[in-house]
């Protein structure tokens, strides 16, 4: 099964992360230029539903840069996006205020596995390495 994505209702989002080093990254920033030493959470922003640049940023941070901390999606985060966020490497997402938390949770359990590789499991299901997963 895929990595777990923690879903957060907009009303429960705490902006003052005490004791954490948090980077808030605009979606036009190049993740390769970030200083990641000591960073525990990176917040990637979706300014609108149709702008998916933060998916690419998340994938780069997880797969190429090896970031192990919390990757959080913020902004215009809809139920329809949460499964792709999980597969792109996000570990948490703050839902837009009008989104239903229960519906988003259900979306994450809709599929048991995927043929394609993703940020958490790069090998496709049909490869010898992927078949063992």
Name the CATH topology of 6-10+19-131: Rossmann fold (3.40.50)
Q: Which sequence spans correspond to the domains of the chain?
A: 6-10+19-131
Tens digit of each residue's pLDDT (9 = 90 or more) over 47-96: 998 899 999 999 999 989 999 999 999 999 999 999 989 989 999 999 99
The CB density around residue 33, as the number of other CB atoms within 10 Å, is 6
- 41-46: strand order across its sheet: 6-8, 92-94, 70-75, 41-46, 22-25
Phi, psi angle pair for 72, to nearest 5°? -110, 130
DSSP SS3 for 74: strand
Model pTM above 0.85: no
d(Cα 8, Cα 104) in Å, to the nearest integer?
A: 10
Residue 12 CB neighbour total at 10 angstroms: 10
């Amino acid at each position: 099964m895929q990595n777990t994505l923690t879903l957060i209702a907009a009303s429960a989002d705490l902006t003052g992360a005490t004791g954490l080093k948090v980077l808030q990254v605009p979606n036009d920033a190049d993740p390769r230029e970030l200083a990641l030493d000591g960073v525990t959470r990176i917040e990637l922003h979706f300014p609108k539903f149709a702008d998916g640049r933060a998916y690419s940023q998340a994938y780069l941070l997880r797969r190429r840069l090896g970031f192990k901390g919390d990757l959080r999606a913020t902004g215009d985060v809809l139920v329809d996006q949460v499964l792709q966020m999980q597969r792109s490497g996000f570990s948490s997402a703050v839902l837009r205020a009008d989104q239903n938390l229960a519906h988003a949770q259900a979306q994450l359990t809709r599929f048991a596995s995927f043929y394609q590789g993703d940020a958490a499991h790069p090998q496709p299901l049909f490869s010898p390495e992927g078949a063992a997963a």
